[in-house]
Amino acid sequence: MHLRMNPMARALIALLSALALIGCGTNDKDDPRAETRRDVAQEIISYPVGGVLPNGLAWETNNEDPIFASADAKPGGAFRTYVLAFPLTIRRVGPDSNGSFAGYTRAGFLSLVSLHPNTRNFIPTLATHWAFDDDGKTVYYRLHPNAKWSDGTPITADDYLYTLDFMRSKHIVAPWYNNHYTNQIVNVVKYDDYTISIEGGSAKPQDEILFEYSMGPVPKHFHVLDQNWVRENNWKVEPNNGPYQISKIEKGKYIEFTRKHDWWGNDLKYYRHRFNPDRIRVRVIRDVNIALQHFFKGELDTFGGVLPEFWHDKFKGKDFDNGYIHKIWFYTDNPQPASGMWLNQSNSILSDRKVRYGLAHAMNIDKVITTVLRGDYRRQHTHHEGYGDYSNTSIRARAFDLTTANTLLDEAGWTERNDLGIRTKGRQTLSLRVTYGQSHHTPRLVILREEAKKAGIDLTLQLLDSAVSFKQMLEKKHQIAWMGWSGGGLSPRYRQFYHSDNANKPQNNNLTNNAVPQMDTLIDKYRTATEKTDRVELAHQIEQMLHDTGAVIFTFKVPYTRDAYWRWMKLPEFRGTRVGDLFNPMGGQFWIDELERQSVLDDAAPQTAPVSILDTTYFSE
């Protein structure tokens, strides 16, 4: 690669590496030569001021919302948790970077603003203030002057301008980011070192643009963007700006994070009394049941119990009876993922609306909930639940009803039944393939299959590797896709799922091949509307129209988090927030009582009655 570079760049690289070698083994902060090095780096990519700040901007901030941490929290201790597979890389972007470990690394990179987990208002993070332009797509930010990267370098406007160059670069091999930072985030302008503006691709309501266009900076002094970037950054620890940084990587075994004691955010209102553990060790345990045994031995501090079999059957034993391990079932109230059966409307059988309706009435979702799911999960009725005003709560999913199903299917011409009792029409059998990617969903589908037989529908189950099944769905080769889209955002998203632009084309999210002209019109209107009331009204209409197409049979939602945890894990009085996990290691409010840990593990702690907490503060139906 060096061959293609011009001599200037080569000389600079040589200079940089020479300086880096000199700086080796000394503390950068105290070393004047390190300062020189940084100056050189900044010379290469220091961005010019891009304009003059408009007058009369109404700067906003939010220091009024209540804090969501407990003053009782004691810092210190080590939190031990696990992942099922060692990450393939610790890069944030690029190939293989989107695995289950990504949540840990990405949590170390804050963005300009964030959402308060209870009030859902914006709170300052890397930015202290923000202001909106009249064009409806530009936001101005004042950056926090104390914010620093973990190597001590201040975070300035240049890092945000560099983000754009970085995320648009082909060298990071991340098409999604390339696209997002080109079409969604169109421009970043520097006014001075601590004032920037971000321009988005389209006009939206103010809270939407603040949410969508709030980005996190990339440390420009750290990266060298060339075609080796992906390979060279697989195991390099990138400077970050959150409270934890990776301190140790034992390949194949664990990754350890250490709390930065002089973290720049320590005294900020919304950050105090949070991020309490000194160390977080994420071990690799390749099987959930083995991980559970580690938890029972006290080698892991908490264990997730959302799955009914864990909560009801496996969370048992003398440590539960003696009050050493507690259980908590905590209802949350956040945008729900949309899980359901996505019917491919381009399929010859499923293109008939009556068949889709009939199928919906033949799916005994409630039986699945009351049996294998122990009545814990709830029925999901629409695509967007938990989005506040945007959710259309008047829509109820089609209930299991054989009479209606039979009538509809008869009307659709599926009147005959074959020797097995499955409906036929001409030479065709009413046999539909359900594609899915999680083997632990098989019991749910088996029950639906047996119940659907009663209506004369044959479901064949196609269990594929999860990546392969998703690929098949994106290529629209499925008949029925059994999957869920993760929820999130402030308001519903319709275009990617239901606009005819995406129908019958591979590699997009319109799994139902939905193409309804009236719906397209509404979706386009929704995207350009800037008044919240209009958008809410449109969202309700679109959701109703979606229900009328019968293109999706929504299945379950899980509006809670459940955990088992050792007694030394301490939660605040209020236990948790409206959204988010109780024991999120990278942002939680919990703390660890190391003395109690010792006494419990030494069998010296007093026994108590079993503790099982049910918290319905944020329960909503």
Partner 1 sequence: MKLRPQLNPLTQRQLARFRSLKRGYWSAVILLITIVLSIGAELLVNSRALIVSYEGNWFFPTYDKYLPGSTFGLGYEYETNFRELKVFFERQPSNSNWVIMPLVPYNAFEVDLPAGRYPPNAPSLSEKHYLGTDTTGRDVLARLVYGFRIAISFSLILLICNYTIGVALGCAMGFWGGAFDLFFQRIIEVWSNVPFLYVIMIIASVIIPNFWTLMIVMVIFGWMSMTWYMRTSTYKEKTRAYVLAARALGASNARVIFSHILPNSISIIVTFVPFAIAGGITSLTALDYLGFGLPPPTPSWGELLSQGTSQLESPWLVTSVVGAMVAILLMVTYVGEAVREAFDPKKFAYYE
Write out the H or E segment, with its range, that includes residue 546.
helix 532-549
Smallest gap from residue 422 Cβ to partner 1 (A): 9
**What b-and-e string marks burial along 428-445, b requiring 16 or more CB atoms within 10 Å of the CB?**
ebbbbbbbbbeeebeebb
439 binds partner 1 (CB under 8 A): yes
The C-alpha atoms of residue 306 and residue 367 are separated, in whole angstroms, by 19
85 near partner 1 (CB under 8 A): no
Query: In Å, what is the CA distance from 35 to each residue of 25, 31, 32, 56, 153?
Result: 15, 7, 5, 38, 10
Q: Please count the helices (runs of H) and the strands (runs of E) in the chain.
A: 19, 26
Q: Quick one: which of 279, 353, 374, 425 contacts partner 1 (CB under 8 A)?
A: 374
In the list 346, 431, 462, 599, the residue contacting partner 1 (rule: CB under 8 A) is 462
Does 463 participate in binding partner 1 (rule CB under 8 A)? yes
Cα within 13 Å of Cα(171), Cβ side: 15
Rounded to whole angstroms, the Cα distance separating 223 from 236 reads 10
Residue 419 in contact with partner 1, rule: CB under 8 A:
yes
Nearer to partner 1, 93 or 432 (CB): 432
Q: For the CB of residue 292, give the shortest distance to partner 1 in the complex, in Å.
A: 10
Pairing of strands 591-592, 378-379: unpaired
Looking at the Cβ atoms of 350 and 457, the one nearer to partner 1 is 457
Q: Which residues pair with 417 in a beta bridge?
A: 423
Which member of 378, 449, 525, 527 binds partner 1 (CB under 8 A)? Answer: 449
Torsion from C-alpha of 38, 39, 42, 46, nearest 10 degrees:
160
Q: Which of residues 261-320 bind partner 1 (CB under 8 A)?
A: 288-289, 308-309, 312-314, 316
- Cβ closest to partner 1, residue 178 vs residue 442: 442
Closer to partner 1 by CB, 250 or 321: give it: 321
Q: Could you say whether residue 421 binds partner 1 (CB under 8 A)?
A: yes
**Nearer of residues 287 and 621 to partner 1, judged by Cβ:** 287
Residue 122, classified by CB atoms within 10 Å of its CB into exposed (0-12), middle (13-18) or buried (19+), is buried
Which residue is associated with the tokens 């129209």?
Answer: 545
Among 120, 272, 453, 495, binds partner 1 (CB under 8 A): 453
Residues 399-418 that bind partner 1 (CB under 8 A): 402, 406, 417-418
Asked if 232 touches partner 1 (CB under 8 A), the answer is no
Query: Which of the ranges 68-76, 124-132, 156-164, 453-461 carries the binding residues for partner 1, by CB under 8 A?
Result: 453-461
Q: What is the closest distance, in whole angstroms, from the C-beta atom of residue 24 to partner 1 in the complex?
A: 43
SS3 for 324? coil
Q: What angle do CA 410, 415, 417 make, to 5 degrees?
A: 135
Choice between 317 and 488, CB closer to partner 1: 317
Please, what is the minimum distance in Å from the beta carbon of residue 372 to partner 1? 7
Q: Hey, which residues between 344 and 373 contact partner 1 (CB under 8 A)?
A: 367, 371-372
- Would you say 236 or 440 has its CB closer to partner 1? 440
Among 450, 475, 501, 548, binds partner 1 (CB under 8 A): 450
CB of 289 to partner 1, least distance (A): 5
Q: Which is nearer to partner 1, 131 or 285 (CB)?
A: 285
Q: Name residues contacting partner 1, limited to 526-565 (CB under 8 A).
A: none
Point out which span in 47-55, 463-471, 552-560, 596-604 binds partner 1 (CB under 8 A): 463-471
How many residues at the interface with partner 1, by CB under 8 A? 37
Give 206 or 462: the residue with its C-beta nearer to partner 1.
462
Separation CA 598–CA 429 (nearest Å) = 65
Residue 255 pairs in a beta bridge with: 249, 282
Residue 427: is it exposed, middle or buried by C-beta count within 10 angstroms (0-12/13-18/19+)?
Answer: exposed
| C-alpha span between 292 and 13 (Å, rounded) | 50
Among 420, 595, 613, 614, binds partner 1 (CB under 8 A): 420
Least distance CB 314 / partner 1 (angstroms):
7
Distance of alpha carbon 621 from alpha carbon 619, whole angstroms:
7
Phi, psi of 82 (to 5 degrees): -145, 160
Structure tokens at 282: 């994420």
Q: By CB under 8 A, name the one of 16, 22, 461, 611 that touches partner 1.
A: 461
Contact status: 475 vs partner 1 (CB under 8 A)? no
Q: How far apart are CA 127 and CA 112, in angstroms?
A: 5
The answer to whether 529 touches 556, Cβ cutoff 8 Å, is: no
Are the CB atoms for 386 and 337 separated by under 8 Å? no
How far is C-alpha 51 from the chain's CA centre? Answer: 35
Q: What is the pairing mode between strands 458-463 and 480-485?
A: unpaired
User: Which residues bind to partner 1, rule: CB under 8 A?
Assistant: 288-289, 308-309, 312-314, 316, 367, 371-372, 374, 402, 406, 417-421, 439, 442-443, 445-447, 449-450, 453-456, 461-465, 468
